[in-house]
Structures are given as structure tokens and as C-alpha cells.
Chains A and B, each alone.
Chain A
Amino acid sequence: MTPGALEISGGETFLFWVIAPLMVLAALGLLFVKRAVHAAMCLVFVMVSMAILYIAQEAPFLGVVQVVVYTGAVMMLFLFVLMLVGVDASDSLTETIRGQRWIGLLIGIGLAAVLGGVVGRAAFPPAVGLSGGDPDGVANPQALARVLFGDYVLAMEAVGVLLVTAAVGALVLTHRRRLAPKQTQASVADARIKALPDGVVLTPLPSPGVYARSNAMDTPALGPDGEQVPQSVSRVLRIRGQERPAPHGAVVVSTGSTREGTGSARDEEGDA
């Protein structure tokens, strides 16, 4: 061993053997999980673990960038698109190309074998390490910045142009031309006035009933004639059949008797 050889601490070994199997499991989840959202969550786990491994490998700047850029921006973008496309968009299991699954699996295993063979047979030089435990060593962000803005300044500029181009490209791609004129408050009001002969009500609908013993969305109000006003209960509740009759005492006014009152209320509920 050379004098500057890298000593990997027991803590890092432990960290690796805890995180690496979990990472591989989560990555396999990407392969086997049915729903795209779960796959995204698996990938988020892999990326956060990757950030931990970067920090353990003397790359604290890259670890932070990994969390901010990948889990913070890229994966959130993925989730946004999943929400746009529909969370339930799961894979169809019918094969359009016959035998594609087995061929794909074979190619994947073959790739793994080739990569494993290359890594296993390659002769790596003895690891040197970046800073040798020194916090001001070559791995700190200042050293990284010196290389980035010194040797690679042209690439840095090109990457900046690439980012701007990508942003503009995404805007252009997702831009939708407006097919109908924009609806303003005035145009909506005009349309409602025009629809008056078709039975549209201009005023707000009556609010639900407020009584001494019940004060809830599902109790209809009583009109001036003592009849229940069905429109005062939300349409959704009416369709679901969750509407409740107005309390006994209130109905007495219109029908004259408590017993009949409840009866008529029940009938109306049945009609609704």
C-alpha cells in the first residue's frame, strides 16, 4: 500500500452495507411496482440514498446538489406530470411486441453480466482518497469551483445555454393556443342573463334551513308558504339522498298537524 492510501472507515462500511441493499431493492421496485407514483417514490428513495453515499464519499457539494436538484426539482417535476397525466395511469399488461418481456429481461441480465465482468476483471489502482480526513482538502466546494470555473469554464457556459434552451423548449412544447375567447366576469354574467328564459336563476340559491334543533347543510329551508325549498340543499347531497327533512315544528305551520307534517316531509325526501 502506498503511504497516501485510502482507509475506508468501519462506519462507512456499515453505512454502505445498510444503504446499498436498500437502494437495490428500491431500484427493483421501479421495475416491478404497478403504479407510476410508487415507482416515483422508489426513485426518490434511491436518489436520497445516493446523496448520502456522495457525502460519505467526500463529495458534500454533490450530495447537497443531488438532494436539491434531483429529489427537489426533478422528482417533483415527475410527480407534477404524473398528476397531469392521471395518477391511475398504470401499465397495460398486454404485450404488443411478442416476447418483448423476455427479450428485455435477457438483455438486462446480459448487460448486468457484462458490467459485472468488466468491474470484476478491471485492475483498479490503489484508492488515494481526496482529502485524507482534512476538511480543507481537495474535496471541499472551493476546490470544486476552481476546477469548474477554471478548466471547464467553457463547458459551464455551454451548460447554461443548454438550460435556458431547455426551459424555453418546455414552454413552447406545453403552450396551448387558446381556441375559445377568454371568459371574463362580464361575459359570464351576459351568458347567464341570456339564459334567463331557459329557467336559469340569477340570484344565489336559497341557503339551507336554520332551526333551533338543527343547523346543517342537509336540512332544507322553508319557503314563505311553509313548503320545503329543495334547491336550498346542495345538489350533491340531494343526488346522494343525504337530504334530511325540516324539523317537525317548522312543518306544522303549513300542514296543521305534527304527524302529517313529518309525513309530508318524509314524502318530499322520498321524491328528492
Chain B
Amino acid sequence: MDITNYVVLAAVLFAIGATTVLLRRNAIVVFMGVELMLNATNLAFVTFARMHGDVTGQVLAFFVMVVAAAEVVVGLAIIVTIFRTRRSASVDDVNLLKG
């Protein structure tokens, strides 16, 4: 097996995550799509680290994980706040700024 298969898997997962972000309406599921994309990039990072024999790729994947955790905390807090005021978790219902 070629190690490129891992990169292909990462690309497929990234595309699926992006499509989830574009298609789903539930804000929480959209957020899960973002998480899937971050995970796919992590897989690519780990694969490239192994390909080049350099551990820096793994360090970068670690940073991506930490930033993703921070992002999830703030994002979910925003979703909860919006849900409290609008009683909805759908991204289509947040249209207060629409003229």
C-alpha cells in the first residue's frame, strides 16, 4: 500500500466535511462538519510527518487540536446563546441583519 492513500482519505473526509457545512441547516451539525474538516487536515499532517520523517507535522496537528477545542467551546456557547434568544438552532433563522 502506498502512504498516499492516507492523504486521499484525508481529502475525501475534508470534502465531506465541507459539503456538510454547505448543506446542513442545524447549526450543531454544521459545526460537526467543521470538526470533520479539522480532523481531516490533522490526518494529512500526521501522514506528511511520517512521509518526511519529521515530527514537526505531529506538533502542528497537536496545535490544530488545541485550537479546535477552543473554537468548539466558543462556538457552542454562541449556539446556546442564540438558541436561548431565538428558540432555534437552525442557521436559517438567524437573519436579524437582513434588510
Residue in chain B with minimal CB distance to A82 = B28
Q: From known contacts A27-B17, A57-B50, A128-B53, infer whether A107 and B63 are also in contact, taking CB-CB under 8 Å.
A: no
B69 contacts A163, CB within 8 Å?
yes
Residue in chain A with minimal CB distance to B79 = A81
Q: List 24 A-B contacts (CB under 8 A).
A: A6-B3, A24-B16, A30-B17, A39-B32, A46-B39, A57-B47, A59-B58, A65-B65, A70-B39, A77-B73, A78-B72, A84-B80, A85-B89, A111-B14, A115-B14, A116-B8, A119-B11, A125-B52, A128-B52, A143-B55, A144-B55, A152-B59, A169-B73, A170-B77
Q: From known contacts A27-B17, A167-B73, infer whether A85 and B22 are also in contact, taking CB-CB under 8 Å.
A: no
A174 contacts B81, CB within 8 Å?
yes
Residue in chain B with minimal CB distance to A10 = B1
Cβ of A98 within 8 Å of any chain B Cβ, yes or no, is no
Interface size class of A (residues with CB under 8 A): 35 or more
Query: CA–CA, A101 to B56, complex, Å?
Result: 39
Residues of B within 8 A of A108 (CB): 15-16, 18-19, 22-23
Query: CA–CA, A30 to B16, complex, Å?
Result: 8
Residues of A within 8 A of B65 (CB): 62, 65-66, 69-70
Residues of B within 8 A of A252 (CB): none
Cβ of A250 within 8 Å of any chain B Cβ, yes or no, is no
A74 contacts B69, CB within 8 Å?
yes
Query: CA–CA, A31 to B22, complex, Å?
Result: 10
Residues of A within 8 A of B68 (CB): 70, 74
Residues of A within 8 A of B4 (CB): 119, 124
Pick the contact of B28: A4, A36, A138 (CB < 8 A).
Answer: A36
Residue in chain A with minimal CB distance to B95 = A96
B11 contacts A43, CB within 8 Å?
no
- Chain B residues within 8 Å of chain A by Cβ, number: 69
Give the interface SS of chain B, mostly helix, strand, loop or mixed.
helix
Residues of B within 8 A of A6 (CB): 3, 50-51
Q: Which 10 A-B pairs have the closest CB atoms?
A: A108-B19, A128-B53, A104-B22, A112-B15, A166-B70, A115-B11, A173-B77, A13-B1, A170-B77, A27-B16
A163 contacts B36, CB within 8 Å?
no
Q: From known contacts A119-B8, A119-B11, infer whether A59 and B46 are also in contact, taking CB-CB under 8 Å.
A: yes
Cβ of A139 within 8 Å of any chain B Cβ, yes or no, is yes
B28 contacts A81, CB within 8 Å?
yes
Residue of B1, B2, B29, B84 contacting most chain A CB atoms (<10 Å): B29
Q: From known contacts A39-B32, A54-B46, infer whether A92 and B52 are also in contact, taking CB-CB under 8 Å.
A: no
B9 contacts A40, CB within 8 Å?
no
Residue in chain A with minimal CB distance to B7 = A119
Residues of B within 8 A of A119 (CB): 4, 7-8, 11
Residue in chain B with minimal CB distance to A173 = B77
Query: CA–CA, A175 to B26, complex, Å?
Result: 23
Pick the contact of A77: B13, B59, B72 (CB < 8 A).
Answer: B72
- Smallest Cβ distance from A2 to chain B, in angstroms? 11
Query: CA–CA, A50 to B50, complex, Å?
Result: 15
Residue in chain B with minimal CB distance to A80 = B76
